[in-house]
Structure 1
Amino acid sequence: MAAILAFAGSNSSTSINFKLVKHTVSLVQGYDIQILNMAEHPFPVFSEDLEKAEGYSSSLKELNGQINSANGLVLSVNEHNGNPSAYFKNVLDWLSRLDRKFLEETKVLLMSTSGGKRGGKGSLAVVENMLPRFGAEVVATFSLPSFYDTFDEDDILDKDLKNEHQSALETFLDSLK
Structure 2
Amino acid sequence: GYGIGGAIEETNPEKVEAQFNTNFFGAYRVLHAVLPQMRKQGGGLIINMSSIGGVIGLPYQGIYSASKFALEGLTEALYKELYGSGIRIVMIEPGDFKTGFTQNREIITAVDGQDRFEASRRVIEHDEQSGQDPVKIAYLVEKIMNRKDPRLRYAIGAFDQKLSILLKKILPNRLFDRIIMKYYKC
After TM superposition, the score normalised by the length of structure 1 is 0.32
More helix by share: 2
TM score, norm. by length of structure 2: 0.31
Higher percent of residues as strand = 1
Q: Choose 1 or 2 for highest CA Rg.
A: 2
